[in-house]
A = this chain, B = another copy of it.
Amino acid sequence: MSGKTAIQIDNQVSDMLKRNNLSVTDSRRKILQLFLEQAGALAHGDIEKRAGEKFDRVTVYRTLQTFVDKGIIHTIPTADNSIRYALCKDECSEGHHHDHHIHFVCSVCNNTYCLDDVVTPEIKLPKGYSAGHVEVVVEGVCKNCK
């Protein structure tokens, strides 16, 4: 049974917010819910479209920033100047994320997925360079579009 009632989801959302010392507001509930009911990542534009009718643009910006700060969501690098956000699977500690999974962008449906089971490989850097975070984005065709 994967179906959850609206109330259950609502509780889950409120709990997540409280766990992160955030006050529970309509916009935060709504936006967090968007992420929970969405498998892939959301571009800022998507979120604004789906939540923006009800909330101010500025609120969306500020909410997303807050979620990133708290480690609830993380950003995914893209080459086309459209920030994408996705839920952090394991709760990241405030301040620094430790998502070692790769990201997959489907060139057909244009969705972005976090492949939580695929770990970023070790990269051997030239002498003198020291590695911190490694970000891998794979472009291809996802299982729904093949």
Inter-chain contacts of A36 with B (CB < 8 A): none
In whole angstroms, how far apart are the Cα atoms of A108 and B79 in the complex?
22
Please, how many residues of chain A have a CB less than 8 angstroms from a CB on the other chain?
Answer: 38
CB-nearest residue of chain B to A142: B129
Q: When each residue 59-85 of chain A gets 1 if its CB lies under 8 Å from chain B and 0 otherwise, what string results?
A: 000000000000000011111111100
Q: How many subunits of this chain does the assembly comprise?
A: 2
Q: When each residue 118-146 of chain A gets 1 if its CB lies under 8 Å from chain B and 0 otherwise, what string results?
A: 10010111111111111111111111001
Residue A115 CB within 8 A of the other chain: yes
Whether the pair A118, B107 counts as a contact (CB closer than 8 A) is no
Whether the pair A143, B131 counts as a contact (CB closer than 8 A) is no
In whole angstroms, how far apart are the Cα atoms of A20 and B102 in the complex?
35
A19 to chain B, nearest CB (A): 25
Whether the pair A135, B138 counts as a contact (CB closer than 8 A) is yes
Known contacts A138-B135, A139-B133, A139-B135, A102 near B123 by CB under 8 Å:
yes
